């Protein structure tokens, strides 16, 4: 394996992000880019990218594949969820980035320029982060290339697919939104949770990667068809006003009715618990599994049904 490095200038320091780029010799085809570790502690997605990179064979590929297993190296080494620890910013809200900005903004700018802009498709692999339970799903953004992004999402084979409206901006500054803005079909694929490196979640990612490569004509073999996922036209992210002890009473992947109790946020001792109710019927796709929530802290992502 010929490992390359993307050197990112952080001003007083630099990062060297390892990646592979395999030019297929079996024929012409698209340039598929797979990135993982935008959140550095979502290990199942990183493991899948590493394993898939190791199984790529130039003589079997028609087109080009780039794989970047750990984009957010500072978070990976620091075991730091959600953010780039150097500036405390969420990298997946920092795209397209700024080459003269803070660490996350510089990293985002380098990734946009080197990995996203030159791609024909982008797969960004994620999982529930260290304090997050998660039901496997894929996400794509409303855009002129949304239909092609949806094909990638369906081909990835996870049980839920969320289409994010352009007006909603729940996760603005994400890789998939920036790619969509550049006319590049992109999905965010989520499998795994809570920092656990479990085989089944890694295999779900690997199955999706292999199948998307076949769908695009990059890799040989029959395309796998999966049961139709539940498709959601929108989702809401529920937050707590006050800090407290978060106690969810629902599981990821289980449908809830409008008005249903989702959980409570209470003081550590004494006081009144605040009940959190579903604003509409839906399915919790991720739930904060840590009880420690701070003001405006994220509790859950509820995909509407
Ligand atoms: Zn993530």
Q: Using one digit for the tens of pLDDT, what is the confidence trace for 245-289?
A: 999 999 999 999 999 999 999 999 999 999 999 999 999 999 999
Give the distance (Å) from ligand 1 centre to CA of residue 282. 21
Closest CA to 74 of 49, 109, 45, 38: 38
* 1's tokens: 């394996």
In this predicted structure, the answer to whether residue 68 has a pLDDT above a threshold of 90 is: yes
- Residues belonging to the chain: 305
Give the distance (Å) from ligand 1 centre to CA of residue 241. 23
Closest CA to 122 of 204, 178, 53, 160: 178
In this predicted structure, the answer to whether residue 169 has a pLDDT above a threshold of 80 is: no
Tens-place pLDDT, residues 221-244: 999 999 999 999 999 999 999 999
Give the distance (Å) from ligand 1 centre to CA of residue 176. 12
Q: Could you give the percent of the chain with pLDDT greater than 70?
A: 99
| Residue whose tokens read 């990179």 | 53
Give the distance (Å) from ligand 1 centre to CA of residue 55. 24
Mean pLDDT of 41-62: 98
In this predicted structure, the answer to whether residue 171 has a pLDDT above a threshold of 90 is: no
In this predicted structure, the answer to whether residue 167 has a pLDDT above a threshold of 90 is: no
In this predicted structure, the answer to whether residue 164 has a pLDDT above a threshold of 80 is: yes
Give the distance (Å) from ligand 1 centre to CA of residue 216. 25
Residue ranges of domains in the chain, CATH in brackets: 4-231 (3.40.630.10), 234-304 (2.40.50.100)
CA–CA dist 17, 107 (Å, integer) = 10
The pLDDT confidence band at residue 165, using thresholds 50, 70 and 90, is confident
Give the distance (Å) from ligand 1 centre to CA of residue 60. 31
| Residue whose tokens read 């339970």 | 133
pTM: 0.97
Give the distance (Å) from ligand 1 centre to CA of residue 225. 26
Mean pLDDT of 192-218: 98
The pLDDT confidence band at residue 166, using thresholds 50, 70 and 90, is confident
Give the distance (Å) from ligand 1 centre to CA of residue 125. 8
Give the distance (Å) from ligand 1 centre to CA of residue 134. 11
Give the distance (Å) from ligand 1 centre to CA of residue 28. 32
Give the distance (Å) from ligand 1 centre to CA of residue 272. 33
The predicted pLDDT at position 231 comes to 98
The predicted pLDDT at position 172 comes to 74
Query: Residues with Cβ within 5 Å of ion ligand 1?
Result: 39, 42, 126
Mean pLDDT score across all residues of the chain: 96
């Amino acid at each position: 394996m010929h490992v390359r490095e993307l050197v990112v200038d952080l001003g007083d320091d630099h990062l060297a992000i390892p990646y592979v780029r395999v030019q297929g010799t079996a024929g012409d085809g698209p340039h598929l880019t797979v990135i993982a570790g935008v959140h550095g502690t979502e290990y199942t997605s990183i493991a899948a990218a590493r394993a898939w990179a190791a199984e790529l064979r130039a003589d079997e590929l028609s087109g080009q594949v780039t794989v970047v297993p750990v984009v957010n190296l500072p978070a990976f080494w620091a075991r730091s969820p959600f953010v780039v620890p150097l500036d405390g910013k969420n990298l997946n809200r920092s795209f397209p980035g700024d080459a003269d900005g803070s660490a996350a903004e510089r990293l985002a700018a380098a990734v946009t320029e080197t990995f996203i802009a030159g791609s024909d498709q982008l797969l960004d692999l994620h999982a529930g982060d260290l304090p997050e339970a998660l039901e496997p799903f894929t996400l794509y953004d409303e855009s002129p290339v949304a239909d092609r992004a949806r094909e990638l999402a369906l081909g990835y084979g996870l049980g839920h697919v969320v289409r994010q409206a352009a007006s909603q901006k729940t996760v603005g500054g994400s890789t998939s939104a920036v790619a969509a803005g550049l006319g590049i079909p992109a999905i965010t694929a989520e499998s795994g949770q809570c920092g656990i490196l479990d085989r089944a979640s890694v295999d779900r990612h690997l199955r999706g990667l292999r199948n998307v490569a076949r769908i695009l004509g990059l890799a040989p073999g029959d395309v796998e068809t999966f049961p139709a996922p539940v498709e959601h036209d929108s989702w809401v992210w529920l937050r707590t006003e006050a800090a407290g002890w978060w106690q969810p009473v629902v599981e990821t992947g289980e449908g809830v009715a409008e008005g249903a109790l989702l959980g409570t946020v209470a003081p550590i001792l004494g006081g009144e618990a605040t009940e959190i109710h579903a604003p509409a019927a839906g399915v919790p796709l991720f739930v904060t599994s840590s009880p420690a929530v701070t003001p405006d802290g994220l509790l859950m992502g509820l995909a509407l049904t």
